[in-house]
């Protein structure tokens, strides 16, 4: 069971969770971060580091955000010819520079 980042992270690009992740599985979109479910080892090191409590377990997550998190890695996002997949670490991938359709169209209340 991987972890999921929800809407509380949109435009809150703190990065503390990234620094805490021992396997480098938290990727940076344009306005939100995403946890790669194929690379996450379920250690939970990111949970206490998130200043906006945007990280939840897949089981406890809203299904909308669980699907959105997975789509970041499985869809061909705007400006990308193919899905990101499992590149083996966010550091080497760098900032992806785009977000999922849900995040792109999201309006915070």
pLDDT of 21-44, one tens digit each?
Answer: 999 999 999 999 999 999 999 999
The confidence score (pLDDT) of residue 95 equals 87
The confidence score (pLDDT) of residue 19 equals 94
The confidence score (pLDDT) of residue 55 equals 95
The confidence score (pLDDT) of residue 2 equals 81
Average pLDDT, the chain: 91
List, in order, residues 6 or more apart from 98 with CB less than 8 Å away: 29, 30, 77, 78, 79, 80, 104
**What pTM was computed for the model?**
0.91
Instruction: Catalogue all structural domains in the chain, each as residue range(s) with its CATH number.
Output: 3-91 (3.30.70.20)
- Does 1 score more than 70 pLDDT? no
pLDDT-based confidence at residue 17 (cuts at 50, 70, 90)? very high
């Amino acid at each position: 069971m991987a972890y999921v980042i929800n809407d509380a992270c949109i435009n809150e690009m703190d990065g503390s969770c990234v620094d805490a992740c021992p396997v480098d599985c938290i990727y940076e979109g344009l306005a939100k971060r995403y946890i790669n479910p194929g690379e996450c080892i379920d250690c939970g090191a990111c949970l206490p580091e998130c200043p906006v409590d945007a990280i939840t377990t897949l089981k406890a997550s809203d299904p909308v955000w669980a699907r959105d998190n997975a789509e970041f890695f499985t869809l061909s996002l705007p400006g990308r010819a193919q899905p990101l997949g499992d590149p083996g670490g966010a550091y080497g991938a760098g900032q992806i520079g785009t977000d999922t359709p849900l995040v792109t169209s999201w309006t915070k209340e």
